A and B are shown apart, each in its own frame.
Chain A
Amino acid sequence: MGEAIVITSGKGGVGKTTTTANIGTSLALMDKKVCLIDTDIGLRNLDVIMGLENRIIYDIVDVIQGRCKLQQALIKDKRFDYLSLLPAAQTSDKSSVTTEGMKEIVTELKQEYDYIIIDCPAGIEQGFQNAIAGADRAIVVTTPENSSVRDADRIIGLIEKEDMIEPPRLVINRIRNHMMQNGDMLDVDDIVQLLAIDLIGIVADSEEMIKASNKGEPIALHPNFKSSISYRNIARRILGETVPLQSLEEEKSFMQKVKAFFKI
């Protein structure tokens, strides 16, 4: 019996979909059977980031309205056998999905998969309610900005009312180390203290991530990037391992090291 994890944030554009894609990919890399569900009806993105857009035949609304079987709508990832995607509908409106429909789909998927990662739409309306309906756990994504932390706080309040196995856990995304050190960005500790939930990972902002998203290849596939390791660490923590937080310290170039040594 698998476990369903919803990735949510409240505010848009903080990296829910990227996080979903990368956590899913990382779990699949560790030989777990993973199914990703995109619940952002009308504004689907997960398929694009995964590079699976042109393989979509049926979507989640087709499944809920009985136009196809769940197995028919699932798309196998081109890189792993262990990873599947249930895409959102692009043409229907959000009201075509109900919480009951979502619960049924998630329950069915749990029989076959180890992890079901649900990508939640922004906002706190029906789409959000649908996304969290079938979930056992929640991961809240935020960035070190006041507005996004405020929305995360609101979302955590709403999730705490649902009966989940444990309180939501936090991913702080798009960290720019030099800004955080200068005090221009909220500090990781401050955010964790305010939101008062467990931190499950921090991810630094990087250009590679944008490049990877545009290529339709989750960055978690390329272990030579720092953010890739961040996502893999999150996946390991989901599996219950204890992994220390990565240092955000940027690698210094050789010349910088020499300069630092001579204190120039």
Chain B
Amino acid sequence: MQETKPTITIKGTRDGLILFIDENSSFEEIVQDLIKKLDESSPKKEEPVVSVKVKLGHRYLTEEQRNQLKKIIEEKNRFQIEAMESEVIPIKDAKTWLDQSKLKVVNQIVRSGQVLETEGDLLLIGDVNPGGRVRARGNIYIMGNLLGIAHAGTEGDQEAFIAASYMKPAQLRIAEYISRAPDYEADGVYMECGIIDPDQNKIVIDSIKILSKQRKVISAFERRMNNG
């Protein structure tokens, strides 16, 4: 009989333990072996909590299975799971992931009463007329006049911003922040952007030049890669 690879390998590092789980064994096997392996070492009460990273390899676990493993590992030992890393994600997740990081280019005039919504960033070639509305999970770039409402970072991304060739919006919204046009008659501004200023804790409109300093990573894909 061939020598089989152990299903569970434990490695100690400076930051804590890393638990490698063999990707070729069945889930039941893993569970059994894991219980066996963990039973070998019963820690004392005074021992400090050790953080554990679980590496799943090319194995996809459902939420339920993840919780099961978590329970086994954390129950009896003074272990704390820091992360469970898998090399694979389901196609569905990957697709939404891709959609959310895509830049969608739309060529239309968003007229009064119309709503244009995208999953990722939005590049609109055209105007947003008064009463029109654009919404994006990421950033909004408008090559045209923004006279209606723009909402960037609809799912709460406070790093999102809105840039437009000509800006005279009724409202700007970023994540949960809302700012509206002043009550006095004011002229619009050219080549500016709306961005959340953390010091003032509100949306400010400034020249698009500040983006190169304040938002270095503009591409939605890179943003996703960095922030998960």
Contact = CB atoms under 8 A, between A and B. Distances in A.
B114 interface: yes
B129 interface: yes
A194 interface: yes
B112 interface: yes
Task: Classify the interface of chain B: helix, strand, loop or mixed.
Answer: loop
Q: How large is the interface on B (under 10, 10 to 19, 20 to 34, 35 or more residues)?
A: 10 to 19
A62 interface: no
B182 interface: no
A188 B109 CA distance: 19
Interface residues of A, number: 11
B112 A150 contact: yes
Interface stretch (A38-46, A53-61, A153-161): A153-161
A245 interface: no
A196 interface: yes
A196 B130 CA distance: 13
A150 B130 contact: yes
B109 A150 contact: no
Nearest to B108: A160
Nearest to A194: B129
B113 A154 contact: yes
B192 interface: no
B131 interface: yes
B113 A157 contact: yes
28 contacts: A150-B112, A150-B130, A150-B131, A151-B112, A153-B111, A153-B112, A153-B129, A153-B130, A153-B131, A153-B132, A154-B111, A154-B112, A154-B113, A154-B131, A156-B111, A157-B111, A157-B112, A157-B113, A157-B114, A158-B113, A160-B111, A194-B127, A194-B129, A194-B130, A194-B147, A195-B129, A196-B109, A196-B127
